[in-house]
Structure 1
Amino acid sequence: MALNYYIIYKPYEVLTRFTPEGNKACLADFFKVPTDVYPVGRLDYDSEGLLILTNDKALNQQLLLPRHAHEREYWVQVDGAVTETAVKELSAGVDIHVDGKLYHTRRCKASIFPEEPALPSRNPPIRFRKSIPAPWLRMVLQEGKNRQVRRMTAAVGFPTLRLVRYRIENITIEGMQSGEMKQLSREDIYRGLKLKA
């Protein structure tokens, strides 16, 4: 069986699967890949950015095992003038609810972007309000609970407006447009993810 590896920039409001659900867009509306290729992990319907598609089951298992603790970098636009105190709280870990239970997130790296990062514009764009700032944060996590980043920024008082997964280890969407796909070699993807091939 030929192994295939792709990275995509998942657009906003697209399901992380190839089968449609109701009137929601799915990956098949944007990306043409062999029928045995599936996404590794997930990215929420209302989030955008990096997703890996493959039919390599070994890669899937390695990447999703919590003990491997792969770095995932998110670029997060938040509602309101985010404070250094909030950034310190995010970095130290905050309490969020996951599956109805209280969970304290692991330490992560969080910082405020000095200026808006270079990303393709979102369609539809976030609601712009002149009187309320909407700065960007960079957050690097080594865990991925359901809707974790959104829950974390909400916990420190700054709800997420736009969420983009920019990188997993050394694989990034740098220079890619929303809805774009790149095919990678097995060697490149394993090296980029710091996995043993």
Structure 2
Amino acid sequence: MIADKTTHRHFIIFKPFGYLSQFASNDSKQQSKKFLGSLHDFPEGIMAIGRLDEASEGLLLLTTDGKTSAHINSQKVDKEYYAQVDGVITNEAIEQLKTGVNITVEGELYKTKPCQAFKLKSIPDLPKRAKKIRDDRHGPTSWVSITLNEGKFRQVRKMTSVVGFPTLRLVRVRVGAIYVNAMDAGDVIEVDAFGVSIV
């Protein structure tokens, strides 16, 4: 039986700290890096929908369908991040994040769009990170939720830094209606669809 060429495959993964959001590299400088391809035997033509930088963790969607990728990458789909920041974040800083702050993107000044942001009341239940964050002996930390529908390079890290609370740990916990829930670092789940309607 010949496989249906229109049948696409979709995966939800929890990208661990220290992994690049790509599957392999021919760059000799990157041979010591960790790639998504080592987490699972993914099909040919698979692509990451958006990226998380090497130090960031959490929900990453993969697909062989370019239309699905383009839709989820668009500003129609929210992405929520939990950021552990250096210091006890203030209400003033939260308000600045919500209304938009000036960051640098490709050498140009850019004002972020209004977004949802709030301080988490307790430490979120997340997988243990491969590399330990400094402990409270070096000063207090706090957690903030930031939900964006744009995705400039290292945007969340730049935003929290601008308001005076640099990010120590960054985890994407939601894309649209898809949550990391009880996934552990490195988990890979194949799904029939993402449940995100494409109009």
Which category of TM-score, normalised to the shorter sequence, fits these structures? over 0.9
Whether the 8 Å CA contact 2:8–2:65 is kept in 1: the answer is: yes
Whether the 8 Å CA contact 2:11–2:61 is kept in 1: the answer is: yes
Whether the 8 Å CA contact 1:10–1:50 is kept in 2: the answer is: yes
Whether the 8 Å CA contact 2:39–2:188 is kept in 1: the answer is: no
Alignment gaps of 5+ in structure 1: none
How far apart in 2 are the matches of 1:185 and 1:156? 41
How far apart in 1 are the matches of 2:128 and 2:185? 9
Cα shift readout 1:43-83 (whole Å, capped 9, x = no counterpart): 111100111111011111222234x3x11000000001111
- 1:151 maps to 2:158: yes
For residues 1-197 of structure 1, the aligned pairs below 5 Å read 1=5, 2-20=7-25, 21-66=30-75, 68=76, 70-186=77-193, 189=194, 191=195, 193-196=196-199
Cα shift readout 1:113-171 (whole Å, capped 9, x = no counterpart): 11101101101111113251111101111110000000000000000000000001101
The amino acid across from 2:51 in the alignment is: R
Whether the 8 Å CA contact 2:74–2:150 is kept in 1: the answer is: no
Deviates more, 1:129-138 or 1:149-158: 129-138
Whether the 8 Å CA contact 2:10–2:62 is kept in 1: the answer is: yes
Whether the 8 Å CA contact 1:169–1:194 is kept in 2: the answer is: no
The amino acid across from 2:58 in the alignment is: G
Q: TM-score, normalised by structure 2?
A: 0.91
Shift of 1:22: 2.8
DSSP-derived class of the 2:139 partner? coil
DSSP-derived class of the 2:96 partner? helix
Structure 1 vs Structure 2 CA RMSD:
1.2
How far apart in 2 are the matches of 1:4 and 1:51? 14
The amino acid across from 1:8 in the alignment is: I
Whether the 8 Å CA contact 2:74–2:149 is kept in 1: the answer is: no
Whether the 8 Å CA contact 1:81–1:132 is kept in 2: the answer is: no
Alignment gaps of 5+ in structure 2: none
Deviates more, 1:71-80 or 1:37-46: 37-46
